[in-house]
Chains A and B, each alone.
Chain A
Amino acid sequence: MSNHIENDLEQSLTEKSKIAKWINDRLPIISSIENTLLRHPYPKNLSYLWSFGSIAGIALVIQILTGLFLAMHYVPNADMAFDSVEHIMRDVRYGWLIRYMHAVGASMFFVAVYIHIARGLFYGSYKSPRELLWWFGILIFLLMMATAFMGYVLPWGQMSFWGATVITNLFSAIPIVGEHIVAWLWGGYSVDNPTLNRFFVIHFVLPFVIVAMVMLHLASLHTSGSNNPTGVEIKSKKDIIPFHPYFTIKDMVGFVAYFIIFGYFLFFYPNSLGHPDNYIPANPLVTPAHIVPEWYFLPFYAILRAIPDKLGGVLMMFGSIAILFALPYLDKSKVKSGAYRPLFKKFYWLFLVNFLFLGWLGQSPAEGWYVIAARISTFYYFTYFLIILPQLPKFEKTLPLPKSIDDHYQSLKRKK
């Protein structure tokens, strides 16, 4: 497959503008951008689920932009952090808007990324030849979680402080050196000013590491090409269309829908996904009655609490993400797309419902039947990856695959 295809709808900028041509003849930056982004071939049967990659990309840009302007007013000092955030909210011009964009934007970013991952899980986008692409994706997800966690500490409210205390204490579960590692993370003997200061620095720098990872994710995507709803690879020129204008337009529609939902939360319910306790300044002497992490950590938090052993719980929680790395080798099915796997479909939807249920359990108190339910859910989470996906091909009779992407596309057209 060639790296780019000619675009019959729109001329190159170098053909339209003499200045562009002059620059491009000396530094081929315009043609390489056009070839790698605009003229890159994509399967022509991609659904709107394929827009969530671009949506996550724009979410990252919004976080970096708003974060940059917040950092101009924020003070990473234990005595001043809380007040500086209130200063942003009350005194800085449009500070309230920029801060709420950043806070709501973080949640929206996770929504987009979770849907992006769920799409990959369903259509088998992690399978050969896209293993590296998938691994870079998981690394981005991990970096996002680290960044979001440290960002939540910065306002230095009660949830910031105790969230930081609880999460950093996860490392104390490591035998022998655990306590030393935690003291090293804190830069002291409790979460305090040194912790806040380094969290600010790391929170600032990690997004740029994410940008680098996104570049690798994209470079890898452009090598293997996009997966598509059939899971059938690109075979001929009939299967493909250039990114621009077809998917720029389609992604724009996705962006508009995304921004409407973003705006709804931003302007009407900016605090609905936060915790009111974080408007109480951090107090190392009083723990809030009920500590909950941000919603996007809840399923993993539920797994942590389901295990009645300190080290075991921590290992299972990290394991629940680490297991994703092994996924390309755990799923033994030759058919990529879940759309052609009747049995897989049932287990997949159960997996999604189970994951959401884990999230709900994560914000419920850790007592009574909740604990039992969390254990059953955790069991299914791991069973899905370790037993169901490897064993399923032995029992499953898959549906016949279309001969090509074009065939699938034509059949969709006929249905309409």
Chain B
Amino acid sequence: MPDNNSSTSKSEQNTTPSQNVESPKDESRRKLLTTTAYTAAGVGAVCALLPFVDSMNPSDDVQALASIEVDISNIAEGQEKKVMWRGKPVFIKHRTKQEIEEAKSVPLIELKDPEEDAKRVKPGKEQWLVTVGICTHLGCVPIGGQGEYKGWFCPCHGSVYDTSARIRKGPAPKNLAVPPYEFLSDTKIKIG
């Protein structure tokens, strides 16, 4: 009996006359309206925030400097030129015949990050190797013409690159990156 009593009083409380008595249909309509309103407001808020996020991307003037043209006529065979591209050094190396041969003759199986030399240069322009001069280990700038393979040697943690700028020894995981570039003429390249 006491159990029954308490349950009736509970059910009475749930439908106190002071509260708005509504049919379930009314409540579902309200739910639809509020959900629609919240969704529309949410979509609007996200759309309004997108321009703010986008404003932090590289601006037009930065993008305008995203590609550079370099005159390579004055780089003698065996020499290397460093240029700045997107705030980073780019190595333009005029390779000797011997260096090209060394790079081509390495079996891919010996490489940590296997890639053929032919894929790292433009066809018919094998003497020109263009790479981003940032060690793939932790971002230092390697020194040219040094190391066991006479390619590049990174003084920070001892990564050694060959004459195709591929990683051969040391902690770096990958070859030096080849940036997008094209030959505008025999003596001019456009990086970026």
Q: Which residues of A contact B (CB under 8 A)?
A: 8-9, 65-66, 69, 72-73, 87, 90-95, 97-98, 252
Which A residues are in CB contact (< 8 Å) with B37? 252
| Residues on the A chain within 8 Å of B60, using CB | 90-93
Q: Is the CB of A97 within 8 A of B59?
A: no
Residues of chain A contacted by B186 (CB below 8 angstroms)? none
Question: Quick check: A65 and B52 within 8 Å, CB to CB?
Answer: yes
Report Cα–Cα, A105/B59, bound state, in Å. 24
- Can you list 11 contacts pairing A with B, beta carbon distance less than 8 Å? A8-B19, A8-B20, A9-B20, A73-B55, A87-B59, A93-B54, A94-B51, A94-B55, A95-B55, A97-B51, A98-B51
Minimum CB–CB distance for A299 against chain B, Å: 33
Tell me, rounded to whole Å, the shortest Cβ–Cβ distance linking A26 to chain B. Answer: 27
A-B Cβ contacts below 8 A, count: 40
From 13 to 62 in chain B, residues with beta carbon under 8 angstroms from any chain A beta carbon are: 19-20, 37, 51-52, 54-57, 59-62
CB-based contact A72/B56 at 8 Å = yes
Interface residues on B, range: 10 to 19
Give chain B interface residues in 50-105, CB to chain A under 8 Å: 51-52, 54-57, 59-62
The answer to whether B20 touches A93, judged by C-beta atoms less than 8 angstroms apart, is no
User: Please, how many angstroms separate the alpha-carbon atoms of A94 and B56 in the complex?
Assistant: 10
CB-defined contacts of A98 to chain B, threshold 8 Å: 51-52, 55
**10 tightest CB-CB pairs across the interface, nearest first?**
A94-B51, A91-B61, A91-B59, A91-B60, A92-B59, A93-B54, A8-B19, A94-B55, A69-B52, A69-B55
Bound complex: CA A73 to CA B54 (Å): 13
Complex alpha-carbon distance, A72 and B116, angstroms: 44
State whether A94 touches B59 (Cβ < 8 A). no
> Shortest beta-carbon distance, B177 to chain A, in Å?
26
A8 to B14, CA, bound (A): 12
A87 to B51, CA, bound (A): 16
Are B19 and A93 in touch, CB under 8 angstroms? no
Contacts of B20 in A (CB 8 A): 8-9
